[in-house]
Amino acid sequence: MIPVILSGGSGSRLWPLSRESYPKQFLPLASEYTMLRETLERLRGLEELAQPIVVCNEEHRFLVAEQLREMKQLPHSIVLEPEGRNTAPAVAIAALAALEQDSEALLLVLPADHVIENVAIFHDSLLVAGEAARQGKLVTFGVVPVAAETGYGYIKANARYEKAQACQALVVEHFVEKPDLATANAYLASGDYFWNSGMFMFKAACYLEELQHYAPEMLSLCRQAYSAARRDMDFVRLEHEAFMSIKGDSIDYAVMEKTDKAVVVPLDAGWNDIGSWSALSDLSVQDEQENVVSGDVFIEDSQNCYVRAENRLLAAVGVQGLVIVETADAVLVASRDKAQDVKRIVERLKLENRSEHLHHRRVFRPWGTYEGVDDGERFLVKRIVVNPGASLSLQKHAHRAEHWVVVTGTARVTRGDEVMELHEDESTYIPVGMKHRLENPAEVPLEIIEVQTGGYLGEDDIVRFDDVYGR
């Protein structure tokens, strides 16, 4: 069984903590581990488990690779999408990759941002799903609902789920869009409906056969994008033009709602997709007033609130039913019952060409991080941290000069034809147009303060001549 981990989402409902450049699957939200790592960790103990295929956005490739390295998990491959095209093409390309290894490959498709509290029950469900999948069925996992939830799609099975009975694969009658509250209550009372989890199991070949039948153009473009892909270490860089020509669609719409091979395995294991701040709050430890607090928070005379501080003291007095989340560059205040609508703020940020939906003040790069400290009309101050042994690209800028001051560690600096080492409290100057490179030759992080000056200070003012990360 080959796990296919879908890690391409942006997690906009968890803004301002989740950003496009660092979305929720790379954050430790429900435990000390990131959600991507939690997804892989809960597979430990399964027999005959192959190395995972991770599908992610090209911009997140080093975040994925680093997290796999930290848990000593070698991937089958990391498939890089130039841009998200939803789950149907992502899984099709993973299936093509899996079939190169095994003509009978069995895929377990898991989003990278779910929580499952009871791993033993989850494993039992996988065994049932595996039996059905090996018989040619396309299996989805239906979460046994515990409330009339309007934020999920539903699956209607051909038989009522009885908890006392052994878990079994039920024939899918139909899929249902997110309902209104009255309809959700009726679904809950009937016992015939499940929440649509977005998790699947099937033979790679069976999925591609159904995709060929129902979405042949999509499959053809997926084959083109994969066959012309470039391999770079564990990365599979899909051919850009073919992949961008794909009309995105979900597995549900493209295949599962149309096929006659769909079955659903009930899952009653404490599942949560952490699709909103209120969902995350439900997973967290509450005080006597049903508040959840995280970080440097003072809260008084308040009930049913989720309050999270990332950078500074956050105080709340006399409030009820609120979500308050503070980050270095943004603060969210929302009613808990409107938590699903946070994505509207993200949409407005995009329309107004703002950057707060894209990245945090601290931006992660394959070599380390940089963080804006101060800026003005013709200057920008950054705090740069370079990981041990890491190196920035050999580059130059057309519009800005840079001043570097070493705070801690040792910097190896290429400055034109000169290569030098700088230590704490030492500095150098990079004129406009000069080729330069910053490296950390030591075994401890290098921290520098960079002062940029010039008429244009955008991140796109970079001409790269050599880059170990293939940018």
Using pLDDT thresholds of 50, 70 and 90, give the confidence band for residue 382: very high
400 in Cβ contact with 433 (< 8 Å): no
Q: Is the pLDDT of residue 164 over 60?
A: no
Helix 204-214 with 216-227: angle, nearest 10 deg: 130
- Asked which of 83-87, 134-138, 358-362, 394-398 is least confident by mean pLDDT, the reply is 358-362
Share of the chain above pLDDT 90, in %: 77
pLDDT at 291 (0 to 100): 97
Predicted local distance difference test score (pLDDT) of residue 1: 94
Q: What's the pLDDT at 162?
A: 62
Structure tokens at 347: 């949409």
Residue 14 has pLDDT above 80, yes or no: yes
Provide the b/e sequence for 182-210 (b: ≥16 CB within 10 Å): ebbeebeeeebbbbbbbbbbbbbbbbbbb
In this prediction, residue 232 has a pLDDT band, given cuts at 50, 70 and 90, of confident
First to last CA, the chain: 33
Interval 406-456: pLDDT, tens: 999 999 999 999 999 999 999 999 999 999 999 999 999 999 999 999 999
405: pLDDT strictly greater than 50: yes
Of the candidates 185, 188, 180, 172, the one whose C-alpha atom is nearest the C-alpha of residue 251 is 172
pLDDT for res 148: 86
What's residue 310's pLDDT?
94
With respect to CATH, is domain 362-466 assigned 2.60.120.10? yes
Percentage of the residues of the chain whose pLDDT score is greater than 70:
98
Q: What is the residue whose two structure tokens read 């006659």?
A: 260
pLDDT (0 to 100) of residue 234: 81
The mean per-residue pLDDT over the stretch 231-240 comes to 90
CB 38 within 8 A of CB 31: yes
Q: For the chain, what is the mean pLDDT?
A: 93
Q: 339: helix, coil or strand? A: helix
CA–CA distance, 41 with 31 (Å, rounded to integer): 12
Pick the CATH number of 2-272 from 3.90.550.10, 3.90.1150.10, 1.10.260.40, 3.40.710.10: 3.90.550.10
Tens digit of each residue's pLDDT (9 = 90 or more) over 199-230: 999 999 999 999 999 999 999 999 999 999 99
> Where does residue 445 rank: exposed (0-12), middle (13-18), buried (19+ CB within 10 A)?
middle
Model pLDDT, residue 368: 92
Higher pLDDT residue, 150 or 82?
A: 82
Buried b (16+ CB within 10 A) or exposed e, 36-74: bbbbbebbeeeeeebebbbbbbbbbbbbbbebbeeeebe
Phi-psi bin for 119: left (phi > 0), alpha (psi -120 to 50), beta?
Answer: alpha
The average pLDDT across 270-291 equals 91
| Residue located via tokens 């943004």 | 330
Using the predicted structure, report yes or no on whether residue 366 has a pLDDT greater than 90.
Answer: no
pLDDT of 340 reads 85
- Show me where the domains of the chain are located: 2-272, 277-345, 362-466
Q: What is the pLDDT of residues 172-185, one digit of tens each?
A: 999 988 888 999 89
